[in-house]
């Protein structure tokens, strides 16, 4: 089994492998984008947009299961890639990756990180969010997931970033990625405005 841990979504984090019921990590020696591509594709998270070493997502625990990985990038599973037979690493060298299907959110242009225009990082770029299906529930999911309390007000802006995301939440989810979403579909976003939110909390 394979997973990403310590990130902000299931498609970002420290690379962890399971071996005989115990989870372990991958050393960052030789860790590069082709290695990350294999991880992201295996997890159905698209492709790698960034790779990290030096325990960027925190130090793992358990055995270090791979070192000096040499993936070509087209392998179906990470354990198919050539690796060193033994490692000379510690957990301060744990490898991590950010995949293209990872989503993160920010409110920009407001007085702090809890107010402003909503922007989503997805597939390697920041995009705006359409207001076509954005209601109180979606605002509540966003404010809570950012640690910003609950929504006070909804704002509207123009779309000035390259992509457009649309969210529809059926219930109070832990974050917007668990809601139904579509990216760069022109029909549902036709004549939409970009969502802005003011939450009642304060952020950096």
- What are 131-167's pLDDT values in tens digits? 999 999 999 999 999 999 999 999 999 999 999 999 9
Considering only CA atoms, which of 100, 115, 199, 106 is closest in space to residue 161? 106
The answer as to whether 204 is a domain residue is: no
H or E segment and range at residue 98: strand 96-99
How far is the C-alpha of 145 from the C-alpha of 177, rounded, in Å? 10
Are 28 and 77 members of one domain?
A: yes
CATH number, position 71: 3.10.250.10
Are 113 and 91 members of one domain?
A: no
Number of domains in the chain: 2
Are 91 and 174 members of one domain?
A: no
Q: Which residues of 120-141 are buried (b: 16+ CB within 10 A; e: fewer)?
A: bbbbeeebbbbbbbbeebbbbb
Q: Please, which residues bridge with residue 99 across strands?
A: 48
Are 153 and 71 members of one domain?
A: no
DSSP state of 113: T
Domain that holds residue 61: 2-99
Are 192 and 108 members of one domain?
A: yes
Are 53 and 13 members of one domain?
A: yes
End residue of a domain, out of 55, 71, 99: 99
Whether pTM > 0.85 for this model: the answer is no
- What are 86-102's pLDDT values in tens digits? 898 999 999 999 999 99
């Amino acid at each position: 089994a394979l997973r990403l841990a310590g990130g902000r979504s299931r498609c970002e984090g420290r690379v962890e492998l399971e071996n005989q019921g115990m989870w372990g990590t991958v050393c960052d020696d030789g860790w590069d984008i082709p290695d990350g591509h294999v991880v992201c594709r295996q997890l159905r998270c698209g492709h790698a947009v960034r790779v990290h070493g030096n325990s960027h997502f925190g130090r793992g625990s358990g055995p270090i299961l791979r070192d000096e990985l040499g993936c070509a990038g087209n392998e179906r599973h990470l354990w198919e890639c050539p690796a060193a037979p033994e490692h000379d690493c510690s957990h301060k060298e744990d490898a991590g990756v950010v995949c293209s299907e990872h989503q993160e959110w920010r409110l920009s242009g407001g007085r702090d990180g809890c107010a402003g225009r909503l922007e989503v990082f997805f597939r390697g770029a920041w995009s705006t969010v359409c207001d076509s299906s954005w209601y109180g529930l979606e605002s509540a999911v966003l404010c809570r997931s950012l640690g910003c309390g609950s929504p006070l007000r909804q704002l509207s802006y123009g779309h000035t970033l390259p992509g457009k995301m649309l969210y529809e939440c059926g219930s109070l989810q832990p974050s917007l990625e668990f809601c139904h979403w579509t990216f760069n579909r022109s029909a549902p976003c036709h004549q939409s405005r970009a969502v802005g939110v003011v939450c009642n909390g304060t952020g950096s």
